[in-house]
Amino acid sequence: MVNPGSEACIVGIGQTEFSRESGRSEQQLCAEAILAACADAGLSPKDIDGALTFDLDNSDEVDLMRNLGTPEMKYSMRTPQGGAGSVTTLVHAKKAVESGLCDVMVIWRAMNERSQYRFGQPHTMVNPKGMSSTFMEWCMPYGAQTPAAWEALSATPYLERYGVTSEDLGRISVLFRQNAATNPAAWFYGKPITLEDHQKSRWIVPPHLKLLDCCQESDGGVAIIVTRRDRARDLRQVPARLLGAEYAFLFNHEIISDFYEGDLAELANSVRVKERLTAAAGISPAQTNVAMIYDNFTPQVLRQLEAFGFCGPGEGKHYVADGHMNLDGKTPLSPNGGLIGEAYIHGMNNITEGVRQLRGTAANQVKAVETVFMCSGVAGAIIGR
């Protein structure tokens, strides 16, 4: 238990516009997002002394410092596991500032994932690190070469055991797009869809994934600033206290190619995160007021809803259909429109939305928000006022 003054808080959030062609370098997107987060917090880039991004990000602390004039870093590091690692960044940032490794840590993710490269296209180049076994090796010769294919292969046992139909998945997509339609920052602002649109969208990976079950490919940058509560008092925003942030990864599991261990209808890593997070934060994910659930593909939302305890096994489709995740429901789901509706900045734009919801400044503001839950499969966090 840290003393109250040392507790980690999110004090700044920043983002660029979300587009399909940013027209500028990833390094510039990174710098712009961080400057926006600094301005939001009331900090200067000179105050930053900790840096954290994804191991997949193409910018690093050297770029950050030479662009923004940051004089000295005390700590910098990378998180693995792609988008599943998005909420893991908060685990590291919390521990880093609470332990004094650094005082002001900036987290960013900036990418031209649509205009410069395409995450969703088949991966044809495989260069195993150290010539050791890689999950791609076992998928490539068989034609499972995209995130959609890997996701569908791991989700099918869940979908079939519980009789989840394409319409059930479509209702999730409709909800995200409905929220995005009234969020001016969303790529799909003003573009809601109907269940019929979802059903008519082209097959990506039959028998389960249609185009509108998949998130977007986006260009853009997002930054988040974390510091201790005693320092947060002097800053511009009401701090978002990190009540808990936990990560769990279990033996013989993989990230998106999680095919080899246990019952594929369950997300064992997420169940473990829920247990630890509930103990750390003192409340469970289902007791929070807003749920930011990583939505690379629609089945992932149902599986996480169940693993994080919002409902029982197989009940996810009914939980969504009954309106519990609607903006006026029990725990509204990603009021920004999520990764499907707002943008796919590898999960990080769901964290900034969580902070806006807590502050009361979101485009689709949920009433009386005291706590927000955020998760990305292997990690979860709860923030509170």
The catalytic site residues sit at: 294, 344
Residues 75-94 that bind another protein (CB under 8 A): none
Q: What span, in angstroms and rounded, lies between the C-alpha atoms of 173 and 196?
A: 11
Residue 202, interface with another protein (CB under 8 A)? yes
Among 72, 131, 163, 328, binds another protein (CB under 8 A): 131
Residue 371, interface with another protein (CB under 8 A)? no
Residue 203, interface with another protein (CB under 8 A)? yes
- Can you give the C-alpha Rg of the chain in angstroms? 20
Residue 134, interface with another protein (CB under 8 A)? yes
Among 72, 124, 163, 367, binds another protein (CB under 8 A): 124
Residue 208, interface with another protein (CB under 8 A)? yes
The single residue listed with the structure tokens 């994910």 is 285
239, burial (CB in 10 Å: exposed 0-12, middle 13-18, buried 19+)? buried
Residue 115, interface with another protein (CB under 8 A)? no
DSSP 299-357: HHHHHHHHHTTSS-TT-HHHHHHTTTTSTTSSS-B-TT-HHHHT--STTHHHHHHHHHH
Q: What span, in angstroms and rounded, lies between the C-alpha atoms of 323 and 330?
A: 8
Residue 148, interface with another protein (CB under 8 A)? yes
Residue 112, strand partner residues? 219
Q: Are strands 219-228 and 104-112 parallel, antiparallel or unpaired?
A: antiparallel
Through-space distance between the first and last CA atoms of the chain, rounded to whole angstroms: 18
Residue 139, interface with another protein (CB under 8 A)? yes
- Minimal distance in Å, beta carbon 123 to another protein? 8
By CB under 8 A, which span of 90-98, 132-140, 179-187, 324-332 interacts with another protein?
Answer: 132-140
Q: What span, in angstroms and rounded, lies between the C-alpha atoms of 267 and 258?
A: 9
By CB under 8 A, which span of 99-107, 202-210, 222-230, 367-375 interacts with another protein?
Answer: 202-210
Residue 154 in tokens: 């791991």
Q: What span, in angstroms and rounded, lies between the C-alpha atoms of 327 and 336?
A: 10
φ/ψ of 248, rounded to 5, equals -145, 135
Q: For residue 378, which of 243, 256, 241, 209 has the smallest C-alpha distance?
A: 256
Binding string to another protein for residues 168 to 187, with x set by CB under 8 A, is what?
--------------------
Residue 143, interface with another protein (CB under 8 A)? yes
- Minimal distance in Å, beta carbon 258 to another protein? 11
Among 28, 44, 58, 145, binds another protein (CB under 8 A): 145
Which of left, alpha, beta for 70 (phi over 0: left; psi -120 to 50: alpha)? beta
Among 10, 48, 205, 256, binds another protein (CB under 8 A): 205
Residue 107, strand partner residues? 52, 224
Q: What span, in angstroms and rounded, lies between the C-alpha atoms of 136 and 140?
A: 6
Residue 160, interface with another protein (CB under 8 A)? yes
Binding string to another protein for residues 261 to 300, with x set by CB under 8 A, is what?
---x------------------------------------
By CB under 8 A, which span of 75-83, 134-142, 225-233, 346-354 interacts with another protein?
Answer: 134-142
82 CB-side CA count, 13 A = 11
Q: For residue 188, which of 27, 341, 365, 383 has the smallest C-alpha distance?
A: 341
Q: What span, in angstroms and rounded, lies between the C-alpha atoms of 150 and 154?
A: 6
Residue 204, interface with another protein (CB under 8 A)? yes
> 21 CB contacts (<8 Å, ≥6 apart)?
112, 114, 115, 219
Residue 56, interface with another protein (CB under 8 A)? no
By CB under 8 A, which span of 64-72, 135-143, 177-185, 376-384 interacts with another protein?
Answer: 135-143
Among 3, 99, 121, 194, binds another protein (CB under 8 A): 121
Query: Closer to another protein at the Cβ: 121 or 194?
Result: 121
Total residues interacting with another protein, rule: CB under 8 A: 45
State the residues that interact with another protein by CB under 8 A.
120-122, 124, 126, 128, 131-146, 148-149, 152-154, 156-157, 160, 202-209, 211, 251-252, 257, 259-260, 264
